[in-house]
A and B are shown apart, each in its own frame.
Chain A
Amino acid sequence: MRFTTRDTLFDQLAARPLFMCGFRPFFLATAGYAVILLSIWLGFLAWGLGVPAVSGGPIVWHAYELMFGFGLAAVAGFLLTAVPEFTGTPALGRRVALGMVLLWAAARLAFWLSGTLGVVGEALAAVLNLGFLGALIALVAPRLWRDPERRHLAFLWGLGAMWLALAGFHADALGGLYPMRWVKVGVGVMMVLIVVALSRISMRIVNDALDAERLRRDGAAARRHGEDDDLPDYRARPPRRNLAIFGVALYTAVEFVLPGSVIAGWVALAAAAAVLNLLNDWHVGRALLSRWALMLYVVYWLMAAGYALSGLALLGVPVAPSAGLHLLTIGAMGVSIFGVLCIAGRTHAGHELDMRSWVLLAAVGLVVAALARAASGLPGLPIAGLQAVSVAAWVVAYGLAARYLGAVFLAPRPDSGTGCEEVLEEASPP
């Protein structure tokens, strides 16, 4: 009897539009949680208000939650939607969406309480967080593996590496060690996942921008372009991407084995150059200046700048090591997740891309947040003020995202779609 009631409640919840597709609850959680986390962090920085006590202290809480709470919520939302689409397999359904987001919330709660509940709390946080990521892997792995060409296995390796980083963190935490090094591994893995995911998203965004540019150039005569077009199609080519992934992965590994070493510094510079090298594919002319293409393009610049700054710090240039790190997290991760929320979030909810100005405001806010936080690590600049500016800009940006995109995620689709489909052409007969 109680089971039936609970199932019914679960199903009733799952029937809401919010759980129509995996990305909806997770992207809402991503944006909302970004605001919550940084609001608390601002309270801590500015007024010394408390943050949840976890082993390792406030900074570990801040880093862990942004990396494995905020970051993995976005990853989960993206993959629960994208993997069925990439592999041409059926959608994962409402119950998975609801179940996964509940698991994610439980993992968050467990980590927040991990400091107060002692070893049991630590263990519970470990089990729930690893369980959440493990469940995500279990959901997507068979589909990625069974794809005939296995074109998207990179996501699986990324998730596996992320799981190891998470496991390492909890092992250190349970063993009483300072676990921050594993969060840095998580950042490296996240950068790789971003490079992999953007290569997929950019194929569409940049080519749409090129089509628009051709249309603008040729006027109404929207001829079909061919090979001989003077604006060739954009292709995210694997060799450069693989070099960038190699650079990032190598830096992450060297920094883990030899933290703070000059060797890691040179490798960080190599990673920065490899990421800039990736932009060769992107220099397609005016089309790059369109809103969405530029947003994704900026992600690479922030990533390259982040690694360059990290490298310089390791080589002895007087820059705080955290400056480069935050260009990666606030900048590359913050902007790319925001872009994915806007692009995948809207199109898979049946909306066209959002051309309103709040998007620009939020994107600029995130870049400002990243630059201000990085600048606070340069010698001679006001640390507290810049950090406050950074946090405030971040909260505003993701607040706008939660407000405008949340409305989309909570509402039913405007078209006849019933799941994760992209915008359906209403005009065309079924």
Chain B
Amino acid sequence: MSIGTLPAAAGTQHELRIRALDHAFGRDEVLAGIDFRLRAGEVVALVGPSGCGKTTLLHLAAGLLTVQAGEVSNSFSSTAFMFQQPRLLPWKTALDNIALGLKAAGVGRDERHFRARELALRLGLAHRDLDKFPHQLSGGMQSRVALARALVLAPELLLLDEPFSALDVGLKEELYRLLLAQQAEQGMGVLMITHDLMEAVRLSDAILVMAPTPGRIVCRFELGQPAASRDDAWVYHHTAELLQAEAVRDSFGLPPGVPALAEVPAVRPGAGLRLVVPAEPVLGARGGARCGG
């Protein structure tokens, strides 16, 4: 299945469905009325300013927090999580860290080491890195280990919490490539948090823009071109375009954009951004009214 194809047509049953989700920590309302759906093979990015409840939403989706109101239904058979920090067990070697999830799933020692090693090598770790402890690895290597730890489970759904935010540009690009390759191969659903719009434009099929207090989804963008075939120019162009969208500027607290630019629909047919109002009942539908307008 090509990644470019929007899964609405694919008709797979596996999906992450979030309906009318509210969440509060004490008296603070963190999330209100979250509604979206993520299907197999789809990459969805949650963007929004710090403190808008992205991480809470992700933790609810992962089942790390108890749902208070609304519904989270995850019909994917396996889910893996990659955190903002590598969160490696410092007393385990890189290899054992990668194999941690397999061990938890009851995979035998030889088998899990074999699979962990194989994937680690594909992600650019060297044999001798695998015997090292996390503190002996550079930050980039630690991120690779963390990514490998999630991917080695061959999850149907991968949840990413700003996993690349602390890395340099070159390393980010490489890990994007590795991630997309794995995603294409396995047909994973990916839900990722980021506050880096370019990262969202680079990787996702759909971008959900969140606004704070309380955290809510204010609009949804869909990206036509398959992620694998997006070049830098495409990404820059559409990131700039995204930045001009009123909802995005509102959400990040930016002053209103230059109207002329914002009004120009720089969307190339079939390849650009499509904006969807969240209230619209049919998810994944194309076209529609202007966000926040």
Interface size on B, residues (CB 8 A): 4
Nearest residue (CB) in B for A230 is B128
Q: Is B126 an interface residue (CB 8 A)?
A: yes
Compute how far the CA of A228 lies from the CA of B141 in the bound complex, rounded to whole angstroms.
12
**B124-138 vs A: 1/0 string, CB under 8 Å?**
001011001000000
Which chain B residues border A228 with CB–CB below 8 Å?
126, 128-129, 132
Q: Tell me the residues in window 203-241 of chain A with beta carbons closer than 8 Å to chain B beta carbons.
A: 228, 230
CA distance A395 to B132 in the complex (A): 52
B145 CB to nearest chain A CB (Å)? 14
Secondary structure type dominating chain A contacts? loop
By a CB distance below 8 angstroms, the chain A residues around B126 are: 228
Shortest distance from the beta carbon of A226 to any chain B beta carbon, whole Å: 10
B255 shortest CB reach to chain A, Å: 46
User: With A and B bound together, what is the CA distance between A280 and B132 in angstroms?
Assistant: 22
Nearest residue in A to B126 (C-beta to C-beta)?
Answer: A228
Q: What's the Cα separation between A160 and B63 when bound, in Å?
A: 74
Taken together as a complex, chains A and B put the C-alpha atoms of A271 and B132 apart, in Å, by 37
Give the residues from 226 to 284 in chain A that come closer than 8 angstroms, CB to CB, to chain B. 228, 230
Q: How far is the CA of A230 from the CA of B129 in the complex (A)?
A: 10
Closest to A229 in B: B128
Which A residue's beta carbon lies closest to that of B131? Answer: A230
List the A side residues contacting B128 at CB < 8 Å. Answer: 228, 230
Question: Complex formed: what's the CA distance from A276 to B129 in Å?
Answer: 33
Q: Which residues of chain B from 127 to 174 have any CB-CB distance to chain A below 8 Å in the complex?
A: 128-129, 132
Shortest C-beta distance, A224 to chain B (Å), equals 14
Closest chain A residue to B129, Cβ basis: A228
| Chain A residues positioned under 8 Å from B132 (CB to CB) | 228
Q: Chain B residues near A230: list those with CB within 8 A.
A: 128
CA A230 to CA B127, docked complex, whole Å? 11
Interface residues of B in 95-138 (CB under 8 A from A): 126, 128-129, 132
| CB of A214 to closest CB in B, whole Å | 13
CA distance A230 to B132 in the complex (A): 10
How far does the Cβ of B194 sit from chain A's closest Cβ, in whole Å?
A: 30
**Complex-state Cα separation, A307 to B229, whole angstroms:** 73
Q: What is the 8 Å Cβ interface bit string for chain A, positions 291-316, against chain B (1 contact, 0 not)?
A: 00000000000000000000000000
- A233 CB to nearest B CB, Å: 16
Min CB–CB distance A23 → chain B (angstroms): 42
**Chain A contacts for B129, CB-based, 8 A:** 228
* Complex CA–CA separation, A53 to B154 (angstroms): 90
**How close is A230's CB to chain B, nearest CB, in angstroms?**
6
B130 CB to closest chain A CB (Å) equals 11
Taking the closest CB of chain B, its distance from the CB of A140, in whole angstroms, is 42
Nearest CB of chain A from residue B106's CB, rounded to whole Å = 33
CA distance A395 to B79 in the complex (A): 79
Q: Which residue of A lies closest to B128 (CB)?
A: A230
**Cα distance A286–B128 in the bound complex, in angstroms:** 19
Assembled-state Cα–Cα distance A119/B132 (Å):
71
A277 to B132, CA, bound (A): 27
Within the assembled complex, what's the spacing in Å between the Cα atoms of A386 and B126?
Answer: 57
Would you give the shortest CB distance from A119 to chain B, in whole angstroms? Answer: 69
A213 CB to nearest B CB, Å: 16
- Smallest beta-carbon distance B208→chain A, Å: 40
How far does the alpha carbon of A332 sit from the alpha carbon of B129 in the complex, in Å? 41
Q: Which chain A residue has the least Cβ–Cβ distance from B137? A: A228
A230 to B131, CA, bound (A): 11
Q: Bound state CA distance, A127 and B132, in angstroms? A: 62
Q: How far is the CA of A343 from the CA of B126 in the complex (A)?
A: 38
- Give CA–CA (A411, B52) in the complex, Å: 81
**Bound complex: CA A336 to CA B132 (Å):** 38
Q: Report the nearest A residue to B141, measured CB to CB.
A: A228
Tell me the complex Cα distance, A228–B128, Å: 8
Q: Which residue of A lies closest to B136 (CB)?
A: A228
Distance of A228 Cα from B129 Cα, bound (Å): 8
Kindly state the separation between the CA atoms of A234 and B132 in the bound complex, as whole angstroms.
Answer: 20
| B144 to A: closest C-beta gap in Å | 13
Which residues 217-268 of B sit at the A interface, judged by CB distance below 8 A?
none
Q: Which residues of chain A in 100-118 are interfacial with respect to chain B, using CB atoms and an 8 Å cutoff?
A: none
Task: For residue A229, give the distance in angstroms from its CB to the closest CB of chain B.
Answer: 8
CB distance from A370 to the nearest CB of B (A): 41
Q: How far is the CB of A285 from chain B (nearest CB, A)?
A: 15
**A164 → chain B, closest Cβ, in Å?**
48
Closest CB-CB distance, B266 to chain A, in whole Å? 45
CA gap between A230 and B126 in the complex, in Å: 12
CA distance A209 to B128 in the complex (A): 22
CA distance A193 to B51 in the complex (A): 64
CA distance in complex: A228, B126 (Å): 10
In the complex, how many angstroms separate the beta carbon of A353 from the nearest chain B beta carbon?
A: 31
- Rounded to whole angstroms, the CA-CA distance of A228 and B132 in the bound complex is 10
Per-residue CB contact flags for chain A residues 322-341 toward chain B (1 = under 8 Å, else 0) read 00000000000000000000
Q: How close is A197's CB to chain B, nearest CB, in angstroms?
A: 34
Q: A298 CA to B278 CA in the complex, in Å?
A: 79
- Bound state CA distance, A228 and B127, in angstroms? 11
Distance in Å from the Cβ of B140 to the closest Cβ of chain A? 12
* Complex CA distance for A228 and B133, rounded to whole angstroms: 12
Shortest CB distance B135–A (Å)? 13
The answer for the CA separation of A60 and B205 in the assembled complex, in Å, is: 92
Alpha-carbon distance A210/B129, docked complex (angstroms)? 20
- Provide 5 A-B residue pairs closer than 8 Å at the C-beta atoms, listed in order of the A residue: A228-B126, A228-B128, A228-B129, A228-B132, A230-B128
Where the two chains meet, the residues of B that have a C-beta atom closer than 8 Å to any C-beta of A are 126, 128-129, 132
Which residues of A are at the interface with B, using a C-beta cutoff of 8 A?
Answer: 228, 230
Give 4 nearest A-B pairs by CB, closest first: A230-B128, A228-B128, A228-B129, A228-B126
